[in-house]
Amino acid sequence: MTGPGSSITHVSDTARWTALHRATESARPDALFRDPLAERLAGDHGRAIVAAVPRSTRNGWWLVARTKIIDDAIAEAIADGCDRVLNLAAGLDTRPYRLDLPFDLTWVEADLPALLEEKTRLLADQTPRCRLTRTAVDLADPRARGAFFDDALDGATKALVLTEGLLMYLEDCDVVALSAAIRRPEVAWWMLDFAGPGLKAMMNKKMAGMLENAPFRFAPDNGLSWFEDLGWRTVHAESLLAAARRFRRLPPLMRLAARLPQPDLRHPGDRPWSAVALLAPQDSADAASRQGSTASSESLTS
């Protein structure tokens, strides 16, 4: 890798970026999580990507916060009866190997063939803590996507679908189609992260060379309301800035920004902003009562 323009050649390469930040966090004495496989998976390519990003975004605090929030949400879902996890665009995620999971939990990873083959090879000497399967699938293909969900959810009664680090690279119409595919009786939760328009503009400008092959696309003006209008109910949502402040992972300048009033999760405006949300399907009562109000079970942190 000779420069920032050549570091990310495909969206899949962002998985190496994320893996290196998991490795960096794991090396801390006060680590929020431990991922002993992350450095192996990041490799030289991951190190080149992080070395090439602008210094102001090299800390990776938002990736660390996102990882921790999702770890905790999965643990809570399992305690609440989750019997299957589907990780879409799973990349180089290692949760089946590092989380404390029931041995009989079925965990399904889906991604493009080349990345799954590489991951399988690199982790060939490792044993997952649950029933792990991997499926090579192009989730943009409606027929392949439908067949994948039919097979992956067969026998499940309370599944969690995870789309970590995926939606921002999709067009709005693709997110609509994915939402419709996920809304099935077997699915109890959808765990996702998304960016606001301000972050999309900032990242595509600041990292134009690096993100040329993986630009940010999806960034709804109305934040959480965009998903709620598609028939989802917010169980919990938190901005990554607020989460990183809570976890004490913000760099000094960002600590000042975190003290300012934060954007509304449903009206984020133009400030750079991103969040993680746990959604559940609305029932008819949810849909009838929303009309701009918030459900009593909802937890929002901005």
Note the pLDDT of residue 48: 75
Of 292, 298, 253, whose CA–CA distance to 278 is shortest? 298
- How many Å apart are CA 151 and CA 186, to the nearest integer? 12
Say what the pTM is: 0.89
- How many Å apart are CA 236 and CA 23, to the nearest integer? 27
Note the pLDDT of residue 53: 67
- How many Å apart are CA 243 and CA 56, to the nearest integer? 19
Identify the structural domains of the chain with CATH numbers, from first to last: 62-208+216-282 (3.40.50.150)
189: three-class secondary structure by DSSP: strand
Note the pLDDT of residue 46: 74
Note the pLDDT of residue 60: 87
Residue 289 class from Cβ within 10 Å (0-12 exposed, 13-18 middle, 19+ buried)?
exposed
Find where tokens 């600590």 sit: 255
Q: How far is CA 8 from the centre of its chain?
A: 18
Of 217, 215, 259, 267, whose CA–CA distance to 241 is shortest? 259
Note the pLDDT of residue 203: 65
Of 48, 187, 162, 37, whose CA–CA distance to 109 is shortest? 162
Of 139, 235, 226, whose CA–CA distance to 187 is shortest? 235
What residue ranges of the chain have pLDDT lower than 70? 1-12, 51-58, 201-214, 284-298, 302
Give 232's strand partners.
281
How would you classify the pairing of strands 159-163 and 187-195? Answer: parallel
- How many Å apart are CA 279 and CA 260, to the nearest integer? 27
